[in-house]
Amino acid sequence: MSIHYSSNFFQAKRKYLSVTWEDFYTTRISDKLDFFFRQGRLFDVLFSQQFDREFIERIFTITNKIRLVSKTKYGADFLRSLLAHKRAMLYFVQPSTRTFLSFHSACQILGMQTAAVQSIHTSSEVKGESFDDTIRTFSSYFDIIIMRHPLEGHAERASFVLNRTKRPIPIINAGSGKDQHPTQALLDIFTLMRSFQPIGGIDEKTIMMVGDLKRGRTVRSLSYLLKNFRNVKIIYSSPDEFRMNSDIKDFLAEHNISYTETSEFEKILPQADAVYMTRIQDEHDQAGESKKTDFSRYALRLEHLDLLKSNSIIMHPLPRRTEIDPQIDNDPRAVYWRQERNGMRIRCALLAHIFNLETKILEY
């Protein structure tokens, strides 16, 4: 699969105007990417599959530049002028303070004004409005929709609806269903790139992912994006009941990405260049399965720090529970709070990309 930065949108539009949603939705992602691009840039950000290495490095450059520019009041004023004429709808049907505030801050850094709908109950859906009409309404008032939805495919559905009208606006998927959360994947990759910059980048590194791998969206997306780097080794460390699903493992095998699975934790730590800790996703429990498993073995404690390489890093998508002892926060290898701030800046970069401001920012 390769991504063409060409402008085949109108061709795609013509094709999909007469297609039902069901047919569109079941089309392979790689076959419909043109529908979400415009003139060599992402228009809708829906899937991790939209990011190739070229794109990742492009965003990496912009993110770093934004970080530097924002340090002075003068620079912050410049950034805030860029999208002051645009307004964003943050449509978060599924609550998520962290992702919400990260996007909200990103909008504010670029000067964009925002409005938010954070619950389905305040919306017109109560009066029987369809999801499609709600999205069209947002497109009447706003210049972009950033949405999070508990149901899979809803961000894509929003794009499908708007891209067939005369006035489409971009959609950013801020998490929909239990599968896709593309900006989280992007910020994880960014953090790896930036942390490993002094030691040759992500290529050749060993990434250990720990915890509830079966239901963790972030470890799935991260695994996927690692295909863009050379000779990466993945070690999955989890209780047997929460091992990574086979779809991802098939994907890795197909792309010749080396991975191993283990229920060990401590023993493996010395091998890792990055330890990516995750929490138990017990909100997805069907019958209390989380409680039957002893997760306490998959937690990083102070005494583990001695086992870790001196130039390794510890990541976590947050929020955490007991997976990492807070006393570890002060260790220079703990990068999860930086990872969180990276999320805000990478979302700025993504907005800048969508609204074609990259050159303006780089030339500052």
Q: How far is the CB of 278 from a second copy (least distance, A)?
A: 12
99 is catalytic: yes
Whole-angstrom CA distances from 299 to 226, 267, 289, 293 are 24, 13, 18, 13
Q: How far is the CB of 102 from a second copy (least distance, A)?
A: 7
Decide: helix, strand or coil at residue 83. Answer: coil
Q: How far is the CB of 105 from a second copy (least distance, A)?
A: 4
**Identity of the residue, 12 or 112, whose beta carbon is nearer to a second copy in the bound complex:** 112
User: Which residue, among 39, 36, 32, has the nearest Cα to 5 in the 3D structure?
Assistant: 39
Catalytic residue selected from 4, 85, 98, 255: 98
**Identity of the residue, 8 or 96, whose beta carbon is nearer to a second copy in the bound complex:** 96
Torsion of CA 218, 220, 221, 222, to 10 degrees: 80
104 is catalytic: no
- Compute the distance between CA of residue 142 and CA of residue 131 in angstroms, rounded to an integer: 16
Q: At what angle do helices 53-69 and 73-82 cross, to 10 degrees?
A: 130
181 is catalytic: yes
Helix (H) / strand (E) containing 73 = helix 73-82
Q: How far is the CB of 191 from a second copy (least distance, A)?
A: 13
Catalytic residue selected from 32, 38, 148, 149: 148
Catalytic residue selected from 127, 166, 167, 359: 127
Q: Are 325 and 300 in contact (CB under 8 A)?
A: yes
Q: Are 70 and 62 in contact (CB under 8 A)?
A: no
**Identity of the residue, 95 or 270, whose beta carbon is nearer to a second copy in the bound complex:** 95
Q: How far is the CB of 175 from a second copy (least distance, A)?
A: 13
**Identity of the residue, 28 or 73, whose beta carbon is nearer to a second copy in the bound complex:** 73
Q: Residue 358: CB partners within 8 Å, gap ≥ 6? A: 58, 62, 352
Q: Residue 299: CB partners within 8 Å, gap ≥ 6? A: 277, 322, 323, 324, 325
**Identity of the residue, 98 or 297, whose beta carbon is nearer to a second copy in the bound complex:** 98
Q: Are 281 and 256 in contact (CB under 8 A)?
A: no
DSSP 8-state assignment for residue 70: T
Q: Which residues bind to a second copy, rule: CB under 8 A?
A: 73, 76-77, 80, 84-85, 87, 89, 95-98, 101-102, 104-105, 108, 113, 115, 117-118, 121-124, 126-130, 132-134, 136-138, 140-142, 165, 279, 283, 318-321, 326, 329, 337, 340-341, 344
Q: Are 46 and 36 in contact (CB under 8 A)?
A: yes
Q: How far is the CB of 362 from a second copy (least distance, A)?
A: 19
**Identity of the residue, 255 or 321, whose beta carbon is nearer to a second copy in the bound complex:** 321
**Amino acid letter, residue 167:** R
Catalytic residue selected from 32, 181, 217, 353: 181
Active site residues: 98-99, 127, 148, 181
